[in-house]
Structure 1
Amino acid sequence: MKNIILVSIVFFTLLSCNTESQKIGFVNNTDLISDYQEKMDIEAKFKGKIETFQKRTDSIGQAFQAEAQAFQLKAQGMAQDKAQLEYQALGQKQQMLQQRIQQEEGAIQEESQEAIDSLIKKVRDYVKVYGKKNGYTYILGSNEAGSVMYGEESKDLTKEILESLNADYNKAE
């Protein structure tokens, strides 16, 4: 009777185990994205746009400041009601400049976010294709949140996939 129970336990244990081997790896999401050459190129592109935007903004600000100072000197010799009207016009001009700057800044941020979102989707799709092509059952993502708390170094595919991604990107250029 004991043998039947023991054989049954062994049989059900073996039956419940999946005899099919599963190939599992993981990538460090942060390293994969941050070291990807296309991301670096996108950052460089937007750094240039931001620098150009800052220079233009600084120049507009300096021009407006000069205009405001000139108005202050001019206003001293003007009638109070006329000075008040010009002061209001100057205030409206300042508001319009600030709105234009905010809109342009928002457009740059939106464009940058769209480019990064597109890049992340591209990397995810690439990892999926890579996994299928190389026979992986799972490729997990590791990040600061701890989705993979530990993984054998031999299962870390970050460097391998990053090299492949960069090679494909450099071919496309």
Structure 2
Amino acid sequence: MKKIVVMVAVVISAIACNKTPDAKEFKTAYIDTQKLMEDYTEAKELDEKYKTKGEVMGRELEVAAKKLKAEMDGFQKNAMAKGQMWAQQKGSELQQREQQLGYAQQAMLQQLQQESGKELDTIVKQVKAFIKDYGKQKGYDYIYGTGDAATILYSKDSYDITGEVTKALNEKYESKAKKSDSKEETKKEDKK
């Protein structure tokens, strides 16, 4: 009995292998998005711009940090000579200035990240638009992305099911919201 089942399975497999499906061939390609951004001139210039801007802003903080360090070194030498009251007051002042310097450094880094992030987002949008136009011109059905973010960068509009999925999700959300509203109304009526 086992032999018959195995033979039937082998025969079905052989017949299935001989059939070729009538599937349309798709023209696809991929782009290493990380390498693209590393090699893209505008992205390199943006990186260099913010590296330079960070160095300039960093030098200002470095000067203030050196001045503070010198005062802290002097504080340790003068602490014994000027007394405990002076040492506590001066120590508190130096500690506060050190903290302010740390905040200034964090603010600088945050400012640089925000500014560069906005410009980088603009570049990414431009690159995606270019890839989409390129894909259309070259007749690609799909262009895949690899690297940091593996995504589909271009596909024919006929393959886009975003609207259908969004509609289904919205319908699900609305029905869920209606159910929760009706449950709340039922609870209110029960309390009366």
- Structure-2-length-normalised TM-score: 0.59
Shift of 1:66: 1.2
SS of residue in 2 equivalent to 1:77: helix
* Cross-structure match for 1:24: 28
Distance in 2 separating the partners of 1:145 and 1:125: 16
Kindly provide the CA deviation profile for residues 95-121 of structure 1, in whole angstroms up to 9, marking residues without a partner as x.
111111111112212322333333222
Residues 1-173 of structure 1: pairs in structure 2 closer than 5 A: 17-18=22-23, 22-143=26-147
Which blocks of at least 5 consecutive residues in structure 1 are unaligned? 1-12, 149-173
User: Which runs of 4 or more aligned residues in structure 1 lie more than 4 Å from their structure 2 counterparts after TM superposition?
Assistant: 144-148
Equivalent residue pairs, number: 135
Instruction: Please list every run of 5 or more consecutive structure 2 residues that lacks an aligned counterpart in the other structure.
Output: 1-18, 153-192
Structure with the bigger RCO (C-alpha within 8 Å, sep 6+) is: 1
Structure 2 contact 135–143 (Cα < 8 Å) conserved: yes
Secondary structure of the residue aligned to 1:17 is: coil
Larger radius of gyration: 2
2:33 and 2:149 in contact (8 A); partners too: no
What's the Cα RMSD here?
2.9
Q: TM-score, normalised by structure 1?
A: 0.65
Q: Percent identity?
A: 28
Q: Separation in 2 of the partners of 1:144 and 1:51? A: 27
| Partner Cα distance (1:139, 1:32) in 2 | 14
Q: Distance in 2 between matches of 1:105 and 1:146?
A: 28
What amino acid is the match of 2:59? Answer: K
Structure 2 distance, partners of 1:79, 1:48, is: 45
